[in-house]
Amino acid sequence: MPEMSGYTACVALKADRALADIPVVFVTAHRDEAFEIAGFEAGASDFIGKPVNPPLVLARVNAQLRFKKMADELRRGALVDALTGLSNRRRFDQVLFLEWARARRARTPISLAMVDVDHFKRYNDRYGHPAGDACLCSVAQALTGACLRPGDLVARYGGEEFALLLPETPFSGARHVAQRVLAALAALDIKHEASPDAAHVTVSIGGTSYGEGPSDWHRFGGATVPPDGGRPTPSALVQGADEALYQAKRAGRGQALVVPLTFDRERPSVESDTLERILLGRR
């Protein structure tokens, strides 16, 4: 390879997150031990000596593909919540980082909704943990049905809390998703006699959006943080949705509070006394 050695190409592949898991097989006339050791250290999966024997090449490539398939299945299992089949917290964190970066590059809005099942401990105490598991699975299906686009991510954030990541979704779109979630939970009509607020299972939703206009991203496009605010980050989006969820619960549960995320103070804010807020009624 005149411009890049096989070692250099292998190291470059392994350094790219999207390509790192692709098996690399060296086909080479070198047979010394030091050469193979250097190749394995660079990330090679196997070596095939020249002259090439086609049946041997096919057998070794098929073996690497089998190993790759098993590794992919293990990785997928590590990113899926075992109970609900949704993406788990680890997968959510990965996708949030990628979608935030993509939204910043494209100057498009991004929204996040945190969904918490109200009085879930009381539900478990009243009906038992198997019923609680079934309840969470039903809620997971309802949330998935409420997110209509393939790019939306529904994840189990932890316990009875779920996250809806909505790329390319402005403030108004996040409101509509929250309304669909409330309607879907009302339609499930899962009995909850231990709830002090409703006769059926309800959820509280805290949502927030950022990047409604390109100017939001442009304001923070440089390397210097403005003196009157902080730099927008993926964790700020989560913090804003968490604060909105807390306010929705304080307002009586079984409802959604969706607010735009701003950076006009020392930290991200969704305080209701200074921001426009949409409080969706009980269902």
Query: 144 vs 84, 119, 162, 184, 270, CA distance in Å?
Result: 11, 21, 11, 10, 26
Parallel, antiparallel or unpaired: strands 256-260 and 153-158: unpaired
Contacts of 147 (CB under 8 A, 6+ apart): 153, 154, 164, 166, 177
Q: Which candidate, 83, 70, 59, 220, places its Cα nearest to that of 140? A: 83
CB-CB contact of 142 with 178 (8 Å): no
Beta strands in 192-276 (DSSP E): 203-210, 256-260
| 3-class state of residue 200 by DSSP | strand
Distance of CA 33 to the CA centre of its chain: 44
Tokens (6 digits) for 67 = 């190993």
Considering the candidates 3, 33, 73, 160, report the single residue annotated as catalytic. Answer: 160
CB-CB contact of 155 with 89 (8 Å): yes
Q: What single DSSP character describes residue 226? A: P
| 212 flagged as catalytic | no
Tokens (6 digits) for 201 = 């299972």
CB-CB contact of 249 with 273 (8 Å): no
Residues belonging to the active site? 160
